[in-house]
Chain A
Amino acid sequence: MNEQPPLILLVDDDDAIRAGLAAALLRAGFRVVEARNGLEALKLAETKAPDVIALDILMPELDGREVCRRLRQADNWTPVIMLTQISATGEKIASLEEGADDFLNKPFDSYELIARVRALLRRQAVAGRPAQLAGVLVSGPLRLERQTQRVWLAGQAVALSNKAFGVLAHLMSRPNVVVSREQLLDQVWGWDDPTGIRTVDVRIAEIRRKLGDEYIETVPGEGYRFVGSVKAG
């Protein structure tokens, strides 16, 4: 389906950032269209049909969250990666609810953005429309209920710590996709503390101790992934 390289819609009102990122994305082999504000972004999302949208949150005219909300309301499920800026935690949770697929905290470097964009493109190819919004996920004997934060293995309730549950839910909603520890830390913990990276390993160890080794696979140098097929329950 892709004779042409993937098209990225890059939305940021800061010229220096936008120009810099555009150059980096082009060098990485993507095609790029740029928008300066939310209204431009919505227009281009419709006319150019990008494969991924990188969306700054704080913008004049229409902010990034509103853009994302309107896209999803119009049943446009193009993967969106939010470039977040103000106090991390609350903003991220709000963005998740509005249908963003990923976040990147400023300051970040262009390699990180490129890696995330590639991951989103791969996921799109594997899973189609994102499965993150399902309330109950089932994979074989494993059942996870998002709302109540509960997990069952072969009908038996399993007590996981808060973050172990978060990690499992995050990986399980992206079956077979490799998620880096940085991403997990960022999106499950809401911190971006590079010294906290090993905290992720501790929670993965907890999941394996309680559910067995077969569900989560370590991909050396890249991160973790959930192995197996996942259905919405």
Chain B
Amino acid sequence: MKTARWLGWLGFGVLVAGAAFALIVRLAAPAALLQFSFLADPAIAVLAVALGLALGLLVASAWRRRQTLQLKRLLAERAAAEAVERRRFMQRLDHEIKNPLTAIQVQLDNLQAVDADRRPAIGEVRAQVDRLAYLTRGLRRLADLEARPLELERIEIGELLDEVAELLQAPERIAFDVQRVPWPIPPLEGDRELLLMALRNLVDNALKYSAADTPVQVRARDLSGKLLVEVVDTGRGIARDELPLVTEELYRGSNARDVAGSGLGLAMVQRIVARHGGQLELRSRPGQGTIASVQLPYEPGAKEAERGVRR
């Protein structure tokens, strides 16, 4: 796409230069107007070559642009088809796992009630089953996130961040910095509960993966047309080669295994942000800390409408 545009501009530049050159030649020698001796007039020859070149470049660039667009459309279609396929698979898996899990849980309850001697062992099995159940629910929620319509409402980011603090109950460690001057951040159109869930997850990660006596900063800024929220910690960080992987479901960073987690949090954040037409970016230096930044358009309306049609 970028090369195509560059070629287009080059073609246009040559065309303009050629036209300018022609004009100068004509004005300088008006008597030569009716002489069609191409070879005798090197200026005309140069002009003709320049014009040909410009036209050629324009055609080539248009053709390339078309190719790129087609390729892009094809890729998008394939990605959409894959997403649908995956969602279906998740639903089937979820469905097939749920009945046996329920049966195991229920029978464990019965065992525990009658067999007092084996209670610790049964308790351990139950804890493992609970983990499986938790994971199944998480995976289904992820699949759900792609399909359910957004419930859009007007959100004041300051209010939403207050709610994040309320949810996490760690106000002394979180330092909020919400832009108020020279202008305040405009209200945001979004699904309040989903955005709350996403931001809570990011701040919770920052708290979990940094020392208990270090602060976590949450900054909100207005970028024209977009909201920027950054969650900054000075914790253990994420290895460079793992950065693109941590937003995949069930992936857990190699240095994160000692901290409890499902491996679904960032995948969820990623999807919520994408559903709002925004972007999640992670920057990190192992041993120094991580910046998770979320950019959200103030009105995700257009993207959502597009999705609505497809669904």
Contacts and interface: CB of A to CB of B under 8 A. Distances in A.
A107 B153 contact: no
A165 to B, nearest CB: 10
Contacts of A86: 91, 94-95
Q: How large is the interface on A (under 10, 10 to 19, 20 to 34, 35 or more residues)?
A: 35 or more
B192 A24 contact: no
Contacts of B166: 198, 201-202, 205
Interface stretch (B102-110, B173-181, B207-215, B248-256): B102-110
Given A163-B192, A198-B167, A106 B98 contact: yes
B99 A106 contact: yes
Q: How large is the interface on B (under 10, 10 to 19, 20 to 34, 35 or more residues)?
A: 35 or more
B23 interface: no
Nearest to A108: B102
A111 B109 contact: yes
B77 interface: no
Main secondary structure of the interface of B (DSSP, over half): helix
A17 B109 contact: no
Interface in A139-177: 161-163
Given A107-B133, A202-B163, A87 B105 contact: no
Contacts, number: 94
B105 A162 contact: no
B147 interface: yes
B91 A20 contact: no
Contact of A17 (B106, B137, B196): B106
A23 interface: yes
A23 B94 CA distance: 26
Interface in A90-127: 105-111
Given A17-B103, A162-B153, A88 B140 contact: yes
A63 interface: no
B143 A17 contact: no
Interface in A1-39: 14, 16-17, 20-21, 23-24, 27
A189 interface: yes
B101 A106 contact: yes
A73 interface: no
A191 interface: yes
Contact of B106 (A21, A162, A190): A21
B109 A20 contact: yes
B270 interface: no
A199 interface: yes
B151 interface: yes
A199 B167 contact: yes
Given A108-B105, A110-B110, A191-B141, A17 B151 contact: no
A202 B196 CA distance: 11
A163 to B, nearest CB: 6
A106 B167 contact: no
B144 interface: yes
B106 A24 contact: yes
9 contacts: A23-B110, A27-B110, A89-B144, A107-B98, A107-B133, A108-B102, A191-B141, A201-B166, A202-B163
Given A14-B102, A163-B192, A202-B163, 6 more contacts: A14-B99, A16-B103, A107-B102, A109-B108, A193-B137, A199-B196
Q: Which 6 A-B pairs have the closest CB atoms?
A: A20-B106, A16-B103, A107-B101, A107-B102, A106-B98, A110-B109
